[in-house]
A and B are shown apart, each in its own frame.
Chain A
Amino acid sequence: MISRWVGLLAVRAAARLAVRLIKIAAAAALIVAAAPVSVCAAIGVWTAWLAGWPPARLYRAALWCAPMVAVWLAAIAITRGWASVIQAPYQAWRAMWRDGAAGAYLAAAAVIAPAAIPAGLAAGGLAWSYRIRSMQAGSGGLSPAAAVAFDLRQWRHQARIARARIAAPGSVPLNSRNGDLIAGAVIRAVGHPARQIAAIPYQRMRSHQVVIGTSGTGKTTLLLRLWAGFVASALHRHYAGTGGLPLLVVLDCKGGGDARRIADRARRVLRAAGAAATAIWPDEASLSLWTLPPGQLTTTLVDLIEHGTGGAAYYADIMEAVVGLAVDAPPGPPQDTADFLVRLDPGWLSMAYAASEHDDAHALIRAAGRQIGDIALRFRTLFRRLGSGLDGPGGFGDADVWYCILEGTGQASVAESQARALVDLLASYATAAPSGAGPGGGRREILLAVDEFSAVSRRLPIWQLYERARSLGLAVQVSAQSWPGLAADEDERYRIAAAADGGIWLLRTPHPEPVAALAGSRKVMDTTRRLLGAPLWSHQGSSRMRLAPVVDPALIRALDVGQAAYIYRGGATYVQVKRLVAAPAAVGTPTAAVAMAREAAVPGTAAAADVTSATGPAAGVGAMADGRAAGNGAAAPSGAPAASGAPAASGAPAASGTAAASSAAAGSGAAVELGASRPALPAARTPPGLAALLDEAFGKEPS
């Protein structure tokens, strides 16, 4: 009985083995018989594995072969008749083997290619899809850990291909044909369409966005790219007559030398994107607080001064009343700081409201008489600390880009006041539709980008900024180094992140969980596998659906420099951001610069000594610096007269170093032009021959 049972088991095992061998033999025979298709499929799968492609890429490649197949079939139909079309693949297969047997391998490949390539790519797509799904489900590979290794390897492949794509010249333009912003190359997409290029529709830049990433992860590169894309897209739309001119306002709330370096880089990058004028506030440009409407000006001035709560509210009310009197005085609102400070005086206010119909104002002046001096003192102190950046001239309409540097790290209280004033000014500018004939009636499309706003948001909560921006049609882009840096408290952070309907950009950060959670979760299949004995696992087990996060926090922590996850509508696209290369600063060709400096310098001056020793490419820079030195030297009392641009004793015009210095400072990237620095000679009379030249070109002077 036992021997019969053992025999039965042996027969069953042998039968199973035979069936398995038959299956393998059949599969091998099929693979060999369809060798061209198998080879194409293998190449497709291998390429997809190496490049981290999704299966859809292989399917698309197969579809792109359709014209070739159509031409092939059409040629057969024309030469052999329509009946042959159905048999064409079979005949091609036979011809391939026949030519192969005869040693004509090239002819064999040419004969079968039209049929084999699309079929092979489609088969490869199916095989690759099966592989990916089995790995994602946890059923593929020799061990359950194989899926993890597969995913990591695929990430490396995808990242490598994305880096190669952004390195290829011209492969990642700033904008697409339809005006979308292109941030870089796609590494991987989860819940988003898998594309090669990460294109963000322009309208998302008109919505709120959040950018989080620690320093050194490529946050500035990403921001510059988004800003440049916004400016270029908006200009494109404006020229097409579908939108207003762009206005980008950046509030860099960290300050310091780093902010200035970024500002300079932003200026050069944005100029290449079409922004003609970039104002760097308060270093190079100023804004006028006094252009605010009187009502708003009063509120802003009062808010600039810090006052406590409780009993201090009494003094706040007095201050508001006095400031209101000064601003709304009959002579009109103050024109500048000095004008305003003069008004904070009981005598001035009494004179201004001297007419009898201002009895109420007189009562106020009498009541607040004792405090007016204190209020003036506080404002005098405030304006001294604020500097001249808010005292004009200038307005947001003067430039395409305003890069505002707030010293939030060094002088937090000053930066808070400045932030408050800048936001009020921008709100006022956005509200008052400027007259203009352009699309939108001259109204500009404004993007307010704030970096580390939490450093200055004590008196202007960022959610309030969001609310105001929303009501004014402004888009706000908030960036921070970490989740806690986004706002002061957790509620505010979630409020900001939840309002980011333009998407969230997440770069490497040590605590990405709160933001990753905002991306939501997706359903994935989870499979358990039976352990046969270490290290063998069977392919039997059970599967169930579970929820997995769309954005893997571990992946975010491991992101490389320049990699970012763009979270939008429950999906995430991992992007390798393409760095925008700014145009170099304005340094002329060495020969031109040296020649100019030589012209500028006279023997015996320091500039001349430096120029004569300057050679090679570095000499161009040195010579430009000398030009600046010559100009500066001229301004000093001891400066050489000839270097100042005044005519030399011989009568030959001497060049001032001003133009050389200015071109170096301009950052325009334009070549230095000889002659641009030549001073014009006084021309009181028309020199002989000039009238003849003009008459020849334009005719006689009209009467």
Chain B
Amino acid sequence: MYGVQLDHLARVLGVSQARARAIAAGWRDRRLAESARLGPGGPWIWLTRTGLASCGLAYSAAPPALGRLAHIRAVTAVRLALESAAGYATAGAYWRGERRLRTRAGGRVGLREHFPDGEVHWPSGAAVAWAGECWAIEAELTRKTVSRTTAIMRELLTRTGDYGCPAAEARIPGRPARHARVLYLCAPAALSTVARARDALGGAAARIEIRSLPPDAGSERAATERAAP
């Protein structure tokens, strides 16, 4: 992930927000992370170059882009919701974020290939019916055109190669698809478009799952208001 907001960080660490704030301050003091109030809600925390290096990550360090804050928050909420499900941990599934996928693509120019917001890998030996599958995760906050959404769905469903593979190996007819299914988590505004796009897919539509975004995917304040009775 590119950055995380304080309330989500507190959930990840399993501590209160005050404690999470203190922990983040410690990271800042050690120059492992930076934090700032970039948008509505609590402060954002992101890793510095030193922090990334200490985690063994080769990403380029940068604050989360302002225009993508809502999207990054939504994807984090999706990840947290999925990871909190009992079946996820039991199966030993793991998440590959968009940032990791883009890094795997490295400096190569994908020539406008679409990257999912994340991938979930289910290990082969897991005791679930979908063991060995790889899912693409898409968080949709805004409404795209149906044709564009259909094109993205089709691209995700037909891809055979890993991200970063030579362009010639991205789609090889006859090979099994990389993503067994695509999970769309939609804001109310985008729901109808995604549903119509899925309907336009025909037979492949069975591999598209649509759900609503978790309550805390919106701004922190909105999430608090929704959670209140």
Q: Hey, which bits of chain A sit against chain B, CB under 8 A?
A: 235, 239, 267-268, 270-279, 284-285, 393-394, 398-399, 401, 437, 583, 586, 631, 635, 644-647, 652-653, 656, 658-659, 661-663, 665-671, 673, 675-690, 692-694, 696-699, 701-702
Contact = CB atoms under 8 A, between A and B. Distances in A.
Contact of B179 (A661, A662, A680, A689): A680
A665 B161 CA distance: 13
Contacts of A644: 175
A624 to B, nearest CB: 13
A535 to B, nearest CB: 58
B19 interface: no
29 contacts: A271-B106, A274-B60, A275-B107, A276-B60, A285-B111, A399-B107, A645-B175, A645-B176, A659-B161, A661-B165, A662-B104, A662-B164, A665-B164, A666-B104, A666-B165, A667-B106, A669-B103, A671-B56, A678-B134, A679-B175, A680-B178, A683-B207, A686-B209, A687-B129, A690-B130, A697-B82, A698-B185, A699-B212, A701-B211
A394 B111 contact: yes
Q: Which of A583, A652, A670, A671 has the most CB of B within 10 A?
A: A670
A665 B88 contact: no
A699 B215 CA distance: 10
A665 B129 contact: no
Contacts of B175: 644-646, 656, 679
B146 interface: no
B206 A279 contact: no
B121 A681 contact: no
A697 B85 contact: yes
A693 B132 contact: no
A291 to B, nearest CB: 13
A580 B62 CA distance: 19
B161 A669 contact: no
Contacts of B123: 675
Interface string B199-229: 0000100110111111000000000000000
B213 to A, nearest CB: 8
A679 B176 contact: yes
Contacts of B112: 398
Contacts of A694: 183, 209, 211
Contacts of A646: 175-176
Nearest to B84: A697
A650 to B, nearest CB: 12
B60 A273 contact: yes
Interface residues of B, number: 67
A687 B135 CA distance: 14
A683 B206 contact: yes
A365 B112 CA distance: 40
Contacts of B110: 277
Given A679-B177, A686-B209, A702-B212, 14 more contacts: A239-B63, A276-B60, A278-B109, A586-B104, A646-B176, A663-B104, A666-B104, A669-B106, A675-B123, A676-B96, A678-B134, A681-B132, A685-B206, A697-B214
B37 interface: no
Nearest to A693: B87
A688 B129 contact: yes
Contacts of B207: 683-684
B148 interface: no
B107 A270 contact: yes
A666 B178 contact: no
Nearest to B157: A680
B108 A277 contact: yes
Interface string B139-157: 0000000000000000000
Contacts of A669: 58, 103, 106
Contacts of A666: 104-106, 108, 164-165
